[in-house]
Amino acid sequence: MNGSNETKRRRRPVGAARSQTPGDRIGRGLPVVLAAVAMLMFSATTNAREVDERAAPFHERVQLDPLGMSAVLVEGRLKSFGSHASSTMHSITGPRRIGGQSDAFTYLDLLIRPEAYADADVVYVKNKNVRQRIADVASAANPALESRLETSVKTGLFAPSVLRTPAIEDLLRTLEADLVRTARPVTEIRNALTLSDPRLLLSRLRIIPPTAEDPQTRWHGLDELVLPPAPPTDPSLASGLPTLPTIEGLDPTLASTIRGAWRELVEGWRRGDAGEVNAAVATLAAAVPEVNGDLYPEQARLRWEHWYFEQGNLTWIWLVYLASVAILLLAVVYRWPTALRIGMGAFGVALALQTFAVGLRWYVAGRWPNSNMFEAVTTAAWFGAVAAIAFELWVRRTPLRGFFALGAAVSCMVALMSAHFLPVYLNPNIGNMMPVLHDVWLYIHTNVIIFSYCLIFMAAVSSAIYLVHRLFGGMPAYARAGGTGMVLATTAGAASGGGAVAKVAGEAVRSGRPGPSFGEVLDGVTMVLMELSFVMLWAGLVMGAIWADHSWGRPWGWDPKEVFALETFVVFLLLVHVRWRVKDKGFWTALLALVGAGVMLFNWIVVNFVITGLHSYA
């Protein structure tokens, strides 16, 4: 037995042949087979990707990012080409994207192939009444266009060939006579048609910085080196060869590089050769800063500005606020501690993202973002969110915790949704501030007013929840000491271990007294926000009068916005009086808080966009 086992364990002599089983042969060949299969799959995937790229539309194969991050001087401000294209196309196509193309692509396509857009629906008409009247007149002149014009009425996009017909020209002249209702839409149509001219688009590409020897120290347009791209029917001009004198002080070699890159871009664009276009874009973007690197703006700022507009101005943050609203509602209604922690975490993430968005816009604009409606709405919401964090830290040991964050989350969500879905009214493009606005009182007055407006909207959220609570059988409770008094009392109770730290009505506490009811908490939150917004609104009105006296020579002029700002203040002045006199204080406080929010929104929406005044955008 031992000998037999020893024989079994005896090693095979070195070099002795070993019989191979089929499994051994398969085992050695398997890695080779797997490697071959992997190579075939990789090759197939690569080929499929190449086929997909070749089959993709031209605008998806063109890479304009290098040019998009180049500087352009427009209306006295240096901005990225991506930002400039976005602003220009906003004036032509409104909020619409033509054929899924980026604004930068459509800008260059209008410049290089204008004939492709002569009969394309690209000019946006915002006013619905004007849309319908244009469609009616155009249909009467050419019944074959009736179905197409029905689509134009829905989308707001009309073809230049339609808008330039004699019948529509006569209509536009008639509409221009109505200065109140239709003159502005007609002006916008004419501006859009003018801006779509390829010669103007090229001249507005002031991407060449001043040369070191330029006595005027001005930025130069490409039109000073090249001609607008000619239609393909005229091959002698299609290349865009320069016929104008060269820019004074510009190095001939560098000028030749810029001209050659533009020529290749135009020729490749017309042929649909994305590779040639991409190479020309990269060459052009690299050559332009070399004209005068000392005067060229910081590349980091241009990249961030281009990225900011590519990301839709970061208005998608409303989705994060929406998530925090849903969780915070569960927390405050059911007093669910876990939901409160998660909701506050989501709210914190949303606020961090919005702080980044506001800070980035401040950085790329070179000024605090509060000079147009987009900036006022988004910055006001940010103020409210920051205030909510301060409130939450203040009331963290009281029953009011979570309610301020909920009000701010709803306010920020609504503000960013408006900016995201209504870009026609809340124009996100960055522009220069008017000279009259360069006053320290503007920054103080405007920021105080928009801060108070956000607090008013936050109070409307807690008021709406209070009224719903009452609708479903809630008791007519109210904060007897007022908002601030209630917070101070509950904070003091928490510090001393008293009964004021109770979570909900009916719970026994160490002192044996029940804590504030759900209705009391809601009314207390509303009153805290009302008390602060009341003070800030009054301060903002006074500061606005000081600024108006500095800028316009009079502190008050009964401008529509001034009047409705005063009316908003009067509503809250009435709220203070009613609170003293009525018995059902919680109900009337909530109702008047909603009325005040409605007047405030009327002031921001109707006065800004419908009624013409010194403060409005109508």
For helices 103-112 and 81-93, what crossing angle results, to 10°?
A: 80
Given pLDDT bands bounded at 50, 70 and 90, which one contains residue 502? very low
To the nearest whole percent, how much of the chain has pLDDT over 90?
50
Residue 259 scores a pLDDT above 60: yes
Give the C-alpha separation, 253 to 258, whole Å. 9
Sign of CA dihedral 360, 361, 363, 367: negative
Query: What is the reported pLDDT for 562?
Result: 77
**Which of the residue ranges 5-19, 536-550, 599-613 would you say has the lowest mean pLDDT?**
5-19
Give the C-alpha separation, 505 to 517, whole Å. 4
Question: Which residue would you say has higher pLDDT here, 357 or 233?
Answer: 357
Beta bridge partners of 79: 72
Residue 607 scores a pLDDT above 80: no
Query: What is the reported pLDDT for 143?
Result: 92
Query: What is the reported pLDDT for 615?
Result: 55
Please work out, in degrees rounded to the nearest 5, the angle formed at the alpha carbon of residue 116 by the alpha carbons of 113 and 120: 140
Residue 603 scores a pLDDT above 90: no
Residue ranges in 230-298 assigned as alpha helix (H): 235-238, 252-271, 274-287
Q: What is the mean pLDDT of residues 565-581?
A: 84
CA 433 to centroid of chain Cα atoms: 19
Residue 494 scores a pLDDT above 60: no
Query: Could you tell me the pTM of the whole model?
Result: 0.80
Supply 549's token pair.
């006296």
Query: What is the reported pLDDT for 371?
Result: 81
Residue 613 scores a pLDDT above 60: no
The answer to whether 270 touches 238, Cβ cutoff 8 Å, is yes
Q: Is 460 exposed, middle or buried (0-12, 13-18, 19+ CB in 10 A)?
A: buried
Residue 294 scores a pLDDT above 80: yes
pLDDT tens per residue, range 332-391: 988 899 999 999 999 999 999 999 999 999 999 888 898 888 999 999 999 999 999 999
Given pLDDT bands bounded at 50, 70 and 90, which one contains residue 191? very high
**Which of the residue ranges 12-26, 284-298, 562-576 would you say has the lowest mean pLDDT?**
12-26
HSE-up (13 A, CA, CB side) for residue 41: 6
Q: What is the mean pLDDT of residues 523-530?
A: 92
Query: What is the reported pLDDT for 496?
Result: 52
Question: Which residue would you say has higher pLDDT here, 506 or 36?
Answer: 36
CA-closest candidate to residue 95, choices 433, 418, 432: 418
To the nearest whole percent, how much of the chain has pLDDT over 70?
80
Residue 229 scores a pLDDT above 60: no
Query: What is the reported pLDDT for 307?
Result: 93
Question: Which residue would you say has higher pLDDT here, 308 or 215?
Answer: 308
pLDDT tens per residue, range 55-92: 689 999 999 999 999 999 988 888 999 999 999 999 99
The continuous run of DSSP H or E covering 123 comes out as: strand 123-124
DSSP letters for 389-402: HHHHHHTTTSTTTT
CA 78 to centroid of chain Cα atoms: 20
Residue 254 scores a pLDDT above 80: yes
Give the C-alpha separation, 531 to 528, whole Å. 5
